[in-house]
Chain A
Amino acid sequence: MTQPLLQVSRLSRHFPLGQGMVRALDDVSLTLMPEQILGVVGESGSGKSTLARIVMGLDRPTSGSVRIAGRDIFALSPRHLRQARRDFQMVFQDPYGSLDPRHRVGRIIAEPLHLDTTAPKGRDRRDLVGRLLRDVGLDAADQDRFPHEFSGGQRQRIAIARALITKPRLLVADEATSALDLTVQKQILRLILDLRDEHGIGVLFITHNLGVVDQICDSVAVMKDGRIVESGPMRQVMDHPAEPYTRRLLEAEPRLDVIGRKVRPKPS
């Protein structure tokens, strides 16, 4: 059997609040196999973003472990964790907040190369960044421009290019399409699928939107109040949800067949 790309075991994260405790994550376990896309769905306060930050080693859990390609990332020394970061990168929700406004696009995309002492420099680095920009549907010459010259969707492409530069095996996308127009959302989802197919990346896709899950995920985990209430293959969860909460989420989705539901008074 192949080794899981990501294995989250019994992860808990508690935050002190006043006299008590908030369980942002409560005994969460999940597994992502290589080249798969796992959707984590939940509403605000479900703990899904805390999960993303801990999986990326940006926050530490209260208990439990995160293994990426078999390595427990919280057992690594800071130096080894830094080296391991080449294998996993992240795309954030807000394409306006995730790019430093004072850096040029080329510098932003090349930032993770800091991890790699053998990374190309100078001319070769420019070529590499240019290739990545073309991979995500932008122009190689765009590396000399600043973030504010781009639209939200283009910025998200830049963020994806940055996440890809170290050739990671795991990509965590935290609401990566939520801030975008629907037509742009669709393009970015298409891009993520293509990248998975071409580069064999596994993706942890965190979202509040079941419509997105339906389009790209192989499996899905539904979170509520820091716990996973239901998980399984995507089609099974979406078409035959076992949990009332999953059903409620599905029912709340926008529909196009309930137009003019109510009897209205005659216009005066």
Chain B
Amino acid sequence: MKLFSYLKKGDFFLFLFVLLLAGAIFLFLFRPDTEKKDCVIMKNNAIIKTVSLSDGSSQEFTVTGDYTLTVEIQGERVRVKESDCPNKVCVASGWIANPGQTILCAPNQVIIQIISNQEGEVDGVAY
């Protein structure tokens, strides 16, 4: 064909580059396995708040009840910053960030758990 004899070496590289770029952008935007993590706060076995951990925002809020907890969310991790409960196990648990990890506050009957739309790296966690 006349067209192909007219084209030069660089043209084919350019075509290939454009095709690869199109493919790369497509794969980057539509990669199916985007992990979504949520922080779920439960009190008396009822979900009272769900916060997305995927958008990287930071916030702080309090959970009231018999005792008052201050929950801090910083990017992808969560902790109980302050609590006026007697034993302060929840504060001592520190930061949690991986799906499946939980913070418990038994006196206040609060469970803070990180859940994911995917299966986690570990099969289970035993305490």
A and B part of one assembly = no
Chain B contact residues, CB within 8 Å of chain A = none
Taking Cβ atoms with an 8 Å cutoff, the residues of A that contact B are none
